[in-house]
Structure formats: C-alpha cells, structure tokens
Amino acid sequence: MAYFHFLIDASVSHRVFQNTPVYTRLIDQLDHLVELNQNKTNPDRVGLTIFDDHLRLRMLTIPIDELRDKMQQSLDYKPGSAIIDALAMTSSWIQEQLAQADYTKHILVFSDFEENASRFYTVEMLGELIKSYREEYGFEFYAFGLKKSQESLFIKMNFSLENLIFLEE
C-alpha cells in the first residue's frame, strides 16, 4: 500500500502554476489513481496540506476525488511562502501519525518554490531531514513546478533528480 501526501502552495506567487500543462497532467493522474483504487482491498491513501506563510490546512487522509476537487478550486492566495517549514513539519507529522502503518510514503510538493517565509527550518536542516526520512523510513519526495535554475537547490536538499518535475521555460 502507498500513502501520497499532497503539499500545495497557496502563496500569491504560485497562482500561475494552476494554469500550466504540468498541473493539468497532475489532475489527470489523480483521475488515474481513483481508477486504480476502485477495486483494491487495501486502497492507497492520500493526504493534503495547504500552506502559504504558515500551514493553513493539514489532513492525514482525504478521499481522492475530494483531493482532486480541492486541487482544482481557486485558492485564497496570500503573500508569503514557507515551503521549507511546511515540508519539514508535514513530513515529521506524517511519520508520527503513520509510524506503525505499512505504507510507502510519498510527499508530492506543488509550488513555484519561491521561499520567503520559513521561520523554523533552513535548507540544510530540511536536507538532513529528507535524507534521514528516505533512508530510515522509505519516504520519497517529489517537487512539481520547479524552474531549471532551482535544480541545484533541490539536489542540496537531497531530492532525487528523477523526482524533480520542471516547468517548461
């Protein structure tokens, strides 16, 4: 079984991402995930976090079709993006909540990655957390919406290169 957690940036700078082909393909993949899980005895689970300069909403589980609907809604965009804090806090929370569950855990981040509001974690701290969660707990981290110029930063944060999905520039 797999657990997929969607981390959605609701900052003003991210507003354009919902209109890109990358985002459209992601919504299509959610439809595919719904189909795959219809007849499973133990279906995959999904969760959701929405953030801007702080965590606005965090749900450990949400029905996939409801997640798809939330991702297609226009968000109440606000200034500031605390992507580093949101990713670190959410990953830790998921591990605490699902420590005994036998899931492969996937964190999918949807953002323009224009960080300007994290107050608790640094890039270095997040990189260490991602490395340890991957090695100790089998987490996988994905970033959707990057600019090619951000690649080295995400390699520094211990994201796997194959898990970085870039916007066409």
Report the share of the chain in percent with pLDDT over 90.
43
Q: Specify the length of the chain in residues.
A: 169
Closest CA to 146 of 138, 155, 137: 155
Residue 58 belongs to a domain: yes
Q: Is residue 11 helix, strand or coil?
A: strand
Residue 40 belongs to a domain: no
Asked if the model's pLDDT at residue 169 lies above 70, the reply is no
Facing residues of 144 across strands?
110, 165
Residue 53 sits in which domain range?
A: 45-166
Residue 97 belongs to a domain: yes
Mark 147-168 as b/e (b = at least 16 C-beta within 10 Å): eeebeeebeebbbeeebbbebe
pLDDT in tens, 88-126: 999 999 999 999 888 899 999 988 788 888 999 999 999
pLDDT in tens, 124-144: 999 999 999 999 999 999 998
Q: Tally the domains of the chain.
A: 1
Residue 75 belongs to a domain: yes
Calculate helix-pair angle for 83-97, 123-137, nearest 10 degrees.
30
Residue 57 belongs to a domain: yes
pLDDT in tens, 28-65: 877 777 777 777 788 889 999 999 898 999 999 998 88
Residue 116 belongs to a domain: yes
Per-residue confidence (pLDDT) for residue 119, from 0 to 100 = 93
